[in-house]
Amino acid sequence: MTCSKLGTLREKIASASKGAGGTSKILIAFSGGVDSGLLLKIAQDILGEAVFAVTLDAEIMPRSELKHAEQFVKALGCDYEIVKFPILDNKDFVKGSRERCYYCKKESAKILAMIGADKEIKSIADGVNISDFDEYRPGIKASDEAGIWHPFVDAGITKSDIRDIAKEIGLEFWDKPSSACLATRIPYGDEITKDKLEQIERAEEILRGKGFRFQQVRARIHGEIVRIEVTAGEIDQALRLRTEIIRELKGIGFKYITLDLEGYRSGSMDVRVQGSGFKVQG
């Protein structure tokens, strides 16, 4: 099945690149994750120098993710650019409403469009896939409004398909866990600030330094409380390290340190309530 979907994806990328008089360039929005990484790899295999990758460097992007993204594009050998994205300048975003992802994607789409226009690139693509529509992703609406193309969606490819294809073609980080932006650690309705983002990132660096699974550890802020999420199998480990975790997290400004006994789960700030969509979790 994945072979068939990969073939469809290749055909769509090749078709989208065919402009008048030759091959048109495609701009790939590369976040550093498996989805956009696979898209970038396949697009370059097909189009070569007609692919241009852009990574937006925002305050909500962990520095570890930015470093990984840069290492990947350098190893791939494609034309790329890392562009500053001052999302905290957007007043609607920093309010932290349930639509914050929409405002972020709307602003990022503007930057990508400007880069595309400057380089005479009309087609801008991202790594959105079929599985993304099963989650609360208001940013997809903003991307659609801006005309950003979702090749995986057109090819009927899911997140599971992406991992299977990435493994099959030898993408070394095919099993890399999803890494949402740092703002997802802040409850809806709370202001998003640079200080909070830096505190979150530092807390997660401390926790990863204790040996917890990379990218499956979260430090979610609730006022003066930090709610730690690690995988269910690592909760005992967190309890064994309780004293030093408390000491180090208090050392960076948290007053109360808590451990979420449900363990790590993506999107834990969103709680789906039957018949009423998503409810803000407080």
| Confidence band, pLDDT 50/70/90 cuts, at residue 23 | low
pLDDT bucket at 135, cuts 50 / 70 / 90: confident
DSSP state of 157: -
What is the pLDDT, as a whole number, of residue 178?
Answer: 76
Query: What pLDDT shows up at residue 35?
Result: 95
Residue 227: per-residue pLDDT: 97
Non-local CB neighbours of 7 within 8 Å, separated by 6+ positions: none
Query: pLDDT tens-digit profile of 42-96?
Result: 999 999 999 999 999 999 999 989 999 999 999 999 999 999 999 999 999 999 9
Dig out the tokens for 239 from the structure.
Answer: 């309890």
- Tens of pLDDT along 231-263? 999 999 999 999 999 999 999 999 999 999 999
Q: How far apart are CA 235 and CA 5, in angstroms?
A: 38
**DSSP label at residue 130:** G
Say which residue the tokens 């993204």 belong to. Answer: 69
Contact, 54 vs 25, CB < 8 A?
no
The Cα-based distances of 28 to 86, 167, 262 in angstroms read 20, 21, 36
Segments making up each domain of the chain, as ranges: 2-168, 182-259
Please report which confidence band the pLDDT of residue 216 belongs to, taking 50, 70 and 90 as the band edges. confident
Burial of 165 (0-12, 13-18, 19+ CB in 10 A): buried
* pLDDT recorded at residue 268: 63
Cα(192)–Cα(185) distance, rounded to whole angstroms? 10
**Mean per-residue pLDDT for 132-140?**
92
Query: Taking all residues of the chain, what is their mean pLDDT, rounded to a whole number?
Result: 90
Which one is predicted more confidently, 198 or 268? 198
Q: What is the pLDDT of residue 213?
A: 75
Distances (CA, A) of 250 to 60, 214, 254: 22, 22, 5
Residue 174 is predicted with a pLDDT of 86
Please state the CATH superfamily assignment of the domain spanning residues 2-168 in this structure. Answer: HUPs (3.40.50.620)
Of 150, 139, 128, nearest in space to 106 by CA: 139
Residue 121 DSSP label: -
Mean pLDDT of the 10-23 span: 76
Q: What is the mean pLDDT of the segment spanning 32-50?
A: 94
Is residue 277 predicted with pLDDT exceeding 50? no
Residue 225 above 60 pLDDT? Answer: yes
Residue 269: the pLDDT is 65
pLDDT band at residue 165 using 50, 70 and 90 as cut-offs: very high
* pLDDT in the model for residue 8: 95
